[in-house]
Structure 1
């Protein structure tokens, strides 16, 4: 049997569907004004990543960093200690986590799904590859995204890191992948139903 790679399930929904989920959790939250902020969603916090975020913050005129901590206990305490950011959010519901990403002006993440949602929500972002490097290869197929995926944090800040991403081409490619994946899933489920 040949394996078929389909898109990660988070891409099967659109940004509008995620917005609906956020609004069900807290109506009006997406319309509230908030000061600009950088979301740092880092599953493997290190001193190097903290320094990288601080350099990015300096380039963005001191924009506030909101550090979203993964709910895993072992990451929580270590992340607070190592990153030592002032604005920390912990124990978030899924909808609240989505909302922070949705409303962010910039995202820094080392999470595959943090990267996925940055793309879904059309964020300006940088993603630092984590130990699951093979998962990040998916982003190489999306136009204009590969240069947002960093292998390490000791890179020079370039103008490209601050430019808006042209998401029309990205959305077109994702729509093709979504359609292909949905057809494969529908076909697989239909075969399973005939058994």
Structure 2
């Protein structure tokens, strides 16, 4: 049986990161090959999810935040760990220095999805371009995202060479394809594919969602950025009042300065399966998150989007694919034609599945 190694942000206590990882591994295994996630320890990324960060010792406000949220982080990390153990298959942990030991372990290596090619998130870690893999033809990506529209001059990565040494390239956004083409015209053919969460159907996601707790109809809030947060929570409060809805507010931590963001029933320590359940059972969703928007599309939930200034292309690209218009907060809201959205997303899903099969050689 063919063996596939997936490289992604596997230790991030982040809902989108965990759920896209689950979806990609599950779909590859459904297709046929034996897939496992490479447990690469990248300290720059995963230190962010520790209860305490050493560098915060020199930043009093950040240190206070760590103290305030340490127990929350530990509980949430436990929920993520439990989800991963229950649903995923990992390799043994490997560090940067030991990556060479798995350089020919798999028949195909896939990096993606999520912002694995964002040097601002990875500190320009070259491993996410699979440079440790001996055979260049085995280096492949699926729906890898840059998260930036221009390659930052601060990055030390030899980005053109790394892209040219990929055996197959799949990005998540048209902006990513254009960025690659602006960097090099000598790469493998580039496809633009759906985020892995769309490779699984609604019923498959419902199979891991937790049952709804309580009988109240509710609005779900999930805000991850620092842009326009006041608008997100103001909109949520107004909608909840107008529609007579309870509020479930998923947050990553308590805020010292912004008590106005702690509205409704605030949840800090949910796991990835809770995240799916919150959206599946909501009456509507208010968010600035790509993956909360993605699951709103999967579950046909009216969504009210605060479009991020720096990374809004991800959501715009999704809406373009689904044929959804007019869901941005502050603009005229248009009713969603879910039949049209389903048709267009199913077409894109079939194309992405076909590309995935080509990538893994099936």
| TM-score interval for Structure 1 and Structure 2 normalised by the shorter chain | 0.7 to 0.9
| 2:218 aligned partner | 37
Q: Distance in 2 between matches of 1:188 and 1:141?
A: 22
Uncovered stretches (5+) of structure 2, i.e. residues with no partner: 1-187
The structure that is helix-richer by fraction is 1
Q: Report how far residue 82 of structure 1 moved.
A: 4.1
| 1:64 aligned partner | 246
Q: Report how far residue 33 of structure 1 moved.
A: 5.6
| 2:37 aligned partner | none
Q: Distance in 1 between matches of 2:231 and 2:359?
A: 44
Q: Distance in 2 between matches of 1:92 and 1:99?
A: 10
- Equivalences for residues 104-183 of structure 1 within 5 A: 104-130=282-308, 131-138=310-317, 139-143=319-323, 145-148=324-327, 150=328, 153=329, 155=330, 160=333, 163=335, 165-183=336-354
* Cα deviation digits, residues 15-34 of structure 1 (max 9, x gap): 10001112xxx5xx25x662
* Cα deviation digits, residues 151-190 of structure 1 (max 9, x gap): xx4x26x5x46x5x33111111111101001101101211
SS at match of 1:147: coil
Higher relative contact order (CA 8 A, sep 6+): 1
Q: Report how far residue 67 of structure 1 moved.
A: 0.3
Structure with higher Rg: it is 2
* Cα deviation digits, residues 97-143 of structure 1 (max 9, x gap): 11111100111110000000000011111121123122122212322
Q: Does 1:78 align with 2:255?
A: yes
Q: Distance in 2 between matches of 1:11 and 1:102?
A: 14
CA RMSD of aligned residues (A): 2.1
Q: Distance in 2 between matches of 1:82 and 1:140?
A: 33
Q: Distance in 2 between matches of 1:170 and 1:17?
A: 19
Confirm or deny: 8 A CA contact 2:248 2:267 kept in the other structure: yes
Confirm or deny: 8 A CA contact 2:249 2:262 kept in the other structure: no
Greater shift, 124-133 or 52-61, is seen at: 52-61
Tell me how many residue pairs correspond in the alignment.
170
Structure-2-length-normalised TM-score: 0.44
